[in-house]
Amino acid sequence: MRKRGAALVVLIVSLAIAATLGVSLLRLAAIQRRSLEIHEWQAQAEWLAESGLERAAARLAADPAYHGETWTIPAEEEKGDRSVVLSGGEVTIRVEPVAGQEDRRRILIEADYGPGRARETRDTTITVSKGAKP
């Protein structure tokens, strides 16, 4: 009888250790998944910020009086073998004149993306066509 009792105790302890390891692995997987999502949102915010700079430069080339805008990128649903709802984003573009340099403009970008709202900023100065008024 003692052997059966000892074997039962060993079995219960082994199951408890295995369950603890299993829970730990599940928590680790959840943490890694969340970290990957945050990294993905940050990368998308970086791409949106770069796109915002390109958009501002193109708008300034067409209209030197362009002062900026809020550019909203709507969330989309991708259909395929599964449906995935993509988070929308928002890019705020501000264009300011550079003091004493009529042909220069400062472009300030704030790009937000994802449910956790990853934010990326850009700040650059470009030259626009001569004689442009702010």
Domain positions in the chain: 2-127
Rounded CA separation 55/93 (Å): 9
Whether residue 85 has pLDDT greater than 60:
no
Q: How many CB atoms lie within 10 A of CB 68?
A: 19
Q: Helix H segments across 1-122? A: 2-62
Digit-coded pLDDT (tens) for 29-56 = 999 998 888 898 899 999 999 999 999 9
Rounded CA separation 42/60 (Å): 27
pLDDT for position 109: 97
Cut 0.75: pTM above it: no
Query: Under the phi-then-psi rule, with left for phi > 0, alpha for psi from -120 to 50, and beta for the rest, what region is 114?
Result: left
End-to-end CA distance of the chain: 93
Share of the chain above pLDDT 90, in %: 63
